[in-house]
Amino acid sequence: MERSIIFAGFGGQGILFAGHVLAQGAMDEGAEVLWIPSYGPEMRGGTASCTVIIGDEPIGSPIVDHPDAAVVFNPPSLAKFGPIVMPGGVLVVNDSLIEAVSGRDDVDEVRVRCTQLAQEAGDDRLINVVALGALVARAPLVRPESIRAALREIVGRKRPEALEIDLRAFDLGLASASQAPSAPAAQAATWSDVGAAR
């Protein structure tokens, strides 16, 4: 079975990093993984997205028309990717920057105050790590401890002084999404049904 996830927002919001950490966590669990970055001509301020595909056997194609989950950090990303998430999938929305809702009643739309939680963790730039925590809480892609281990490996190697803040941001996102209600929630399908629909 394969699961596909798209992270999307402005360049500079840590989109590619969030995908990298998720991919590393999945690889550490022995999964087959593809990580595919995509960004506009401006790394910071332009649009950016990345796709992560996680499978239990070799992945046949990098093309994703309907992701199982999307994490969107700005309004254009919600407009672009919100409509194409698979029914029964998960849509994590950065509630700090996006006022609009997807209008979908067949996905688990969870809204997370990414900026406020990142500030609470100690660095308001870590909205990506907060959102990653929210994703892992709502979509059983990898175990939370695998993401923590990936953060220790990636952040701990390059910026060890920042590791504890990253871990705190992840845990705050995880806790926030674990407690948040679905909006208005996928009545027609559930996350466990998504892979079966392929």
Q: Residue 91: phi, psi to the nearest 5?
A: -125, 110
Which letter, b or e, does each residue of 22-59 get, where b requires 16 or more Cβ atoms within 10 Å of its Cβ?
bbbbbbbbebebbbbeebeeeeeeebbbbbbbbbeeee
CA separation for the pair 78, 164 (Å, rounded): 30
Cα Rg of the chain, angstroms = 15
Residue 74, domain extent: 2-178
Cα angle: 110, vertex 182, 69; to 5 degrees: 50
Domain assignment present for 191: no
SS3 category, 71: strand
Q: Residue 60: phi, psi to the nearest 5?
A: -80, -30
Domain assignment present for 196: no
Domain assignment present for 51: yes
Domain assignment present for 43: yes
Q: What is the pLDDT along the chain (198 residues), one digit of tens a residue?
A: 899 999 999 988 999 999 999 999 999 999 999 999 986 655 555 678 999 999 999 998 888 999 999 999 999 999 999 999 999 999 999 999 999 999 999 999 999 999 999 999 999 999 999 999 999 999 989 999 999 999 999 998 888 999 999 999 999 999 999 987 765 544 434 555 555 444
| CATH code of the domain containing 140 | 3.40.920.10
